[in-house]
């Protein structure tokens, strides 16, 4: 018994040790991450519980939280901005906590409160600031007229007076608030919104003081090179800078006399609803938000902490406190996501010169009304369940009917061990392919809003196929997007096959030296992850600093400023070029393998008979090459049909969503527009239907089953 007890103790010991560990997810980097690490060590040493901070990339943070926590696979505590608190409360992701709000700044307490309860421990606040180069700016401007005047004086050559991401709604809302508008206004076609859009056009284009299409990376590089005097960004911009930098509050908008009011985001420590150690999680989160944790975060991480007891004489923190007093708390309303997308469309149309401010504001209102419409009315699931039962019974009867033949039953029994060998593959196929598809198809029959699901039957399919929300000619229409997707697939496959076969024909020639080296080099575009290639090509097509325009300028002997994402044709070409680069190596490898099996004697005989190059290729090589290429073409067409990364990362659907394909449009319905998962699932089912029809049709045309 004593030995059994020792074994039991040894078995339980690792589990007990594991229970005494807290996992904290965060998206911090640099000094902020160092501060969190020091705070975790300090609390761990004092309490005997290990705190393990886990970095999670900012772009994937929210989706990972919303996926992992409900299934019990998430952290005990996660540190995030408060903006998604509305969604998280509806999904039951965060736990209600007790916080002494008097110990924190008022707006910070407001950010983590809802329905008279507290849902997180406030840590720090951030907002946009006016950052400037103290080497060229003596005194920061107090009004936008002064800002524009100073920016004009500092613009010339390669230097710009002002640089910020004007096309992003987060950077645009300070001006919108100054004109009396809000992203969440019931009517975004009001004069205030039109005036704010006109002012954004003036800053971004009209005054000539900003670079074209500024991105975060471009703004940072311009400042590092001394080519941007003023920058509008947040405290996250400062740690990576090697040049001296100073900060001031955003100026007063001269037209209204009101200060530019950026969003204020409050970072908080949230206790996950599925925390494995909720007591320790609450204790650590409360300590991190309290004076001791705040002192470490302020001293090491240079954070503007929410704890009122902790003060600092750092001039940057003083500016952040001043800016916080004239900021607008970032909304936690779940409708903010779709409202932001509608505003982004209007903003980019105005900056591109494709619409007037008044027209763009009216279009934004129309988009919002569709994005934020209530879910369809619920219907009874009884007819659908009855139909499903009948279909299942019919399928079962069809499958069992042949078993009435004694010869077939005998054959199955004789081959029973063969079925055991294929059983693991069949189970895996059911688990990995069939079950997810059936689940997705089932989701398409439901509507999701505010964390609630309702059965709506075929309503999503009817809305999509009958074009109830948009005209058929609108880029938002399923049929328009389907036409673009088909065009996208056909042009890409033709380019892949044409370029791949041409290179294969060249590389098979024995007179080519270093063929193995060329073959390896030409496979590299396929080996590199496509999202990395997509981001590189997006930079290559930049209107002002892209290598493509620079090369064209060198060829024509002048400066070329082609806006590659300003029209459908150019944006489509940019996407096509990127995906052609990614896809031709696959076809080249397949064609090379097939060409090795074609006897050269056939071509030599045709050459002796006087056949030219084209005749030999068309009547000798191609008939023998085509059967080997057909499966690759079909597989490549399916891949291209669903090539999400290139469209999403290169053109982003611009202009106005006209270059979206079906899979990227489904993604936007699921994650950018009120989390309409049922509507997005209906898109996915329709995509499957289109690909099924295509593969069956291709098999019929080919005269054999290849896919």
290 found inside a domain: yes
Q: What is the pLDDT of residue 135?
A: 92
Least trusted range by pLDDT, from 118-122, 346-350, 531-535, 702-706: 702-706
Tell me how many degrees the CA angle 63-65-71 measures, rounded to the nearest 5: 110
Average pLDDT over residues 635-652: 92
Q: What is the pLDDT of residue 703?
A: 61
Q: What is the pLDDT of residue 12?
A: 42
H or E stretch at 590: helix 568-596
247 is written with which tokens?
Answer: 């900060």
Instruction: Evaluate whether 503 touches 522 at the Cβ level (below 8 Å).
Output: yes
Structure confidence by residue, pLDDT tens digits, 13-50: 444 444 478 999 999 988 899 999 999 999 999 999 99
| Integer Cα distance of 535 and 492 in angstroms | 19
Where residue 3 falls among pLDDT bands split at 50, 70, 90?
Answer: very low
Structure-token match 């994005």, residue found: 371
Average pLDDT over residues 550-561: 88
Same domain, 512 and 536: yes
Residue 268 CA: distances (Å) to CA of 111, 276, 520: 9, 19, 49
Average pLDDT, the chain: 88
Task: Give the total number of structural domains in the chain.
Answer: 3
Same domain, 325 and 342: no
Q: What is the pLDDT of residue 19?
A: 47
635 found inside a domain: yes
Same domain, 116 and 136: no
| Integer Cα distance of 698 and 630 in angstroms | 9
12 found inside a domain: no
Angle between helices 416-429 and 406-414 (to 10 degrees): 80
Structure confidence by residue, pLDDT tens digits, 683-696: 999 999 999 888 88
| Integer Cα distance of 444 and 482 in angstroms | 19
675 found inside a domain: yes
Average pLDDT over residues 472-487: 93
Where residue 702 falls among pLDDT bands split at 50, 70, 90?
Answer: low
Instruction: Evaluate whether 93 touches 70 at the Cβ level (below 8 Å).
Output: yes
26 found inside a domain: yes
180 found inside a domain: yes
Least trusted range by pLDDT, from 28-37, 514-523, 538-547, 634-643: 514-523
Where residue 531 falls among pLDDT bands split at 50, 70, 90?
Answer: confident
Structure-token match 């033709």, residue found: 494
| Integer Cα distance of 328 and 185 in angstroms | 14
On the question of pLDDT at 2 being above 60, the answer is no
Where residue 73 falls among pLDDT bands split at 50, 70, 90?
Answer: confident
Write down which residue in 296, 329, 362 finishes a domain. Answer: 329
Same domain, 169 and 318: no
Structure-token match 């369940």, residue found: 385
H or E stretch at 368: helix 357-371
Question: Domain with 678 in it: what CATH number?
Answer: 1.10.3720.10
Helices in 116-190 by DSSP H: which ranges?
A: 144-153, 169-178
Same domain, 279 and 348: no
Structure confidence by residue, pLDDT tens digits, 403-451: 788 887 788 788 878 888 888 888 988 888 888 888 888 999 999 876 6
Give the range of the structural domain holding residue 553, as residue numbers without chain letter. 479-702
Name the percent of the chain lying above pLDDT 90. Answer: 55
Q: Which of 401, 399, 592 is nearest to 508 (CA)?
A: 592
269 is written with which tokens?
Answer: 């420590």
Same domain, 111 and 245: no
Same domain, 257 and 278: no
Instruction: Evaluate whether 464 touches 682 at the Cβ level (below 8 Å).
Output: yes
Q: Is the peptide bond before 541 cis (omega within 30 degrees of 0)?
A: no
Q: Is 493 exposed, middle or buried (0-12, 13-18, 19+ CB in 10 A)?
A: buried
Same domain, 346 and 247: yes
Whole-structure pTM value: 0.85
Q: Extract the runs of DSSP E, i.e. beta strands, from 389-498.
A: 446-449, 452-455
Same domain, 177 and 113: no
Same domain, 585 and 629: yes
455 found inside a domain: no
On the question of pLDDT at 706 being above 60, the answer is no
DSSP letter for 599, please: -
| Integer Cα distance of 595 and 616 in angstroms | 13
Contacts of residue 220, defined as CB under 8 A and 6 or more positions apart, other chains included, come to: 237, 240, 241
155 found inside a domain: yes
| Integer Cα distance of 393 and 9 in angstroms | 53
On the question of pLDDT at 512 being above 90, the answer is no
On the question of pLDDT at 7 being above 60, the answer is no
429 is written with which tokens?
Answer: 């196929």
The separation between CA 151 and the C-alpha centre of its own chain, rounded to angstroms, equals 33
Structure confidence by residue, pLDDT tens digits, 569-602: 999 999 999 999 999 999 999 999 888 888 888 8
Instruction: Evaluate whether 84 touches 55 at the Cβ level (below 8 Å).
Output: no
Q: What is the pLDDT of residue 140?
A: 94
Same domain, 66 and 147: no
Q: What is the pLDDT of residue 451?
A: 67
Least trusted range by pLDDT, from 306-310, 371-375, 631-635: 371-375
Q: What is the pLDDT of residue 598?
A: 83
How long, in residues, is the chain? Answer: 707
- Long-range contacts at 194-199 (CB < 8 A, ≥ 24 apart): 194/357, 194/358, 194/360, 194/361, 195/255, 195/357, 196/172, 197/346, 197/347, 197/350, 197/357, 197/360, 197/361, 198/350, 198/357, 199/175, 199/253, 199/255
Q: What is the pLDDT of residue 335?
A: 80
Question: Domain with 95 in it: what CATH number?
Answer: 3.40.190.10
Q: What is the pLDDT of residue 450?
A: 66
Residue 609 CA: distances (Å) to CA of 31, 600, 623, 624, 625: 76, 14, 19, 19, 21
Structure-token match 């909720």, residue found: 278
Q: Given phi > 0 = left and psi -120 to 50 = alpha, else beta, which region is 131?
A: beta
| Integer Cα distance of 236 and 301 in angstroms | 11
Same domain, 577 and 486: yes
**How do 228-233 and 160-163 pair as beta strands?**
parallel
On the question of pLDDT at 189 being above 70, the answer is yes
On the question of pLDDT at 482 being above 90, the answer is yes
Average pLDDT over residues 45-64: 89
Residue 14 CA: distances (Å) to CA of 20, 41, 275: 10, 21, 19
Q: What is the pLDDT of residue 147?
A: 96
Average pLDDT over residues 141-163: 95
């Amino acid at each position: 018994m004593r030995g059994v007890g020792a074994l039991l103790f040894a078995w339980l010991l690792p589990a007990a040790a594991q229970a005494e560990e807290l996992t904290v997810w965060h998206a911090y980097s640099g000094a902020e991450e160092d501060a969190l690490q020091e705070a975790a060590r300090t609390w761990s040493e004092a309490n005997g519980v290990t705190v393990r901070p886990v970095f999670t990339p900012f772009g994937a943070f929210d989706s990972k939280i919303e996926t992992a926590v409900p299934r019990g696979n998430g952290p005990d505590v996660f540190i995030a901005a408060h903006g998604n608190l509305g969604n998280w409360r509806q999904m039951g992701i965060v736990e209600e906590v007790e916080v002494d709000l008097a110990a924190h700044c008022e707006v910070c307490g407001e950010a983590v409160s809802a329905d008279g309860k507290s849902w997180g421990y406030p840590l720090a606040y951030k907002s946009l600031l006016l950052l400037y180069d103290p080497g060229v700016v003596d005194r920061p401007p107090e009004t936008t007229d002064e800002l524009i005047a100073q920016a004009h004086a500092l613009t010339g050559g390669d230097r710009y007076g002002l640089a910020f991401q004007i096309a992003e709604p987060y950077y645009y809302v300070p001006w919108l608030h100054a004109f009396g508008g809000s992203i969440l206004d019931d009517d975004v076609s009001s004069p205030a919104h039109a005036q704010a859009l006109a002012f954004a056009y003036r800053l971004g284009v009209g005054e000539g003081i900003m670079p074209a299409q500024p991105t975060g990376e471009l703004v940072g590089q311009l400042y590092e090179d001394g080519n941007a005097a003023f920058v509008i960004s947040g405290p996250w911009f400062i740690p990576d800078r090697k040049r001296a930098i100073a900060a001031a509050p955003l100026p007063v908008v001269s037209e209204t006399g009101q200060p530019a009011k950026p969003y204020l985001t409050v970072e908080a420590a949230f206790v996950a609803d599925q925390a494995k150690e909720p007591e320790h999680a609450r204790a650590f989160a409360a300590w991190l938000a309290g004076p001791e944790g705040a002192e470490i975060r302020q001293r090491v991480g240079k954070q503007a902490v929410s704890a009122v007891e902790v003060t600092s004489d750092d001039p940057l923190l003083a500016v952040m406190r001043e800016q916080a007093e004239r900021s607008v708390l970032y909304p936690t309303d779940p409708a903010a996501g779709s409202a932001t997308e509608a505003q982004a469309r209007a903003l980019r149309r105005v900056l591109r010169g494709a619409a007037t401010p008044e027209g763009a504001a009216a279009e934004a209102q129309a988009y919002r009304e569709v994005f934020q419409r209530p879910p369809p009315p619920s219907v009874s699931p009884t007819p659908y369940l009855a139909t499903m039962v009948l279909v299942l019974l019919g399928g079962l009867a069809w499958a069992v009917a042949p078993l009435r033949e004694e010869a077939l039953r005998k054959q199955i029994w004789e081959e029973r061990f063969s079925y055991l060998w294929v059983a693991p593959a069949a189970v895996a196929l059911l688990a990995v392919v069939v079950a997810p598809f059936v689940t997705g198809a089932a989701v398409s029959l439901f509507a999701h809003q505010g964390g609630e699901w309702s059965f709506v039957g075929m309503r999503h399919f009817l809305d999509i196929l009958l074009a109830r929300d948009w005209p058929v000619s609108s880029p938002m229409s399923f049929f328009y997007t389907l036409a673009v997707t088909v065009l996208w697939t056909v042009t890409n496959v033709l380019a892949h096959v044409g370029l791949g076969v041409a290179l294969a024909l060249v590389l098979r020639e024995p007179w080519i030296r270093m063929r193995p080296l060329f073959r390896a080099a030409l496979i590299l575009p396929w080996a590199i992850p496509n999202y990395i290639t997509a981001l590189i090509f997006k930079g290559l097509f930049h209107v002002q600093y892209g290598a493509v325009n620079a090369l064209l300028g060198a060829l024509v002997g002048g400066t070329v400023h082609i806006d590659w994402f300003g029209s459908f044709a150019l944006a489509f070409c940019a996407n096509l070029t990127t995906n052609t680069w990614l896809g031709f190596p696959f076809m080249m490898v397949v064609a090379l393998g097939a060409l090795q099996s074609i006897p050269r004697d056939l071509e030599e005989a045709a050459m002796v008979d006087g056949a030219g190059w084209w005749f030999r290729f068309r009547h000798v090589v191609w008939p023998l090459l085509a059967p080997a290429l057909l499966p690759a073409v079909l597989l490549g067409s399916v891949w291209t049909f669903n090539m999400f990364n290139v469209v999403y990362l290169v053109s982003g659907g611009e202009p106005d969503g006209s270059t979206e394909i079906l899979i990227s449009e489904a993604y936007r319905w699921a994650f950018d527009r009120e989390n309409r998962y049922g509507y997005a699932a209906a898109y996915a089912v329709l995509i499957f239907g289109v690909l099924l029809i295509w593969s069956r049709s291709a098999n019929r045309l080919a005269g054999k089953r290849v896919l």
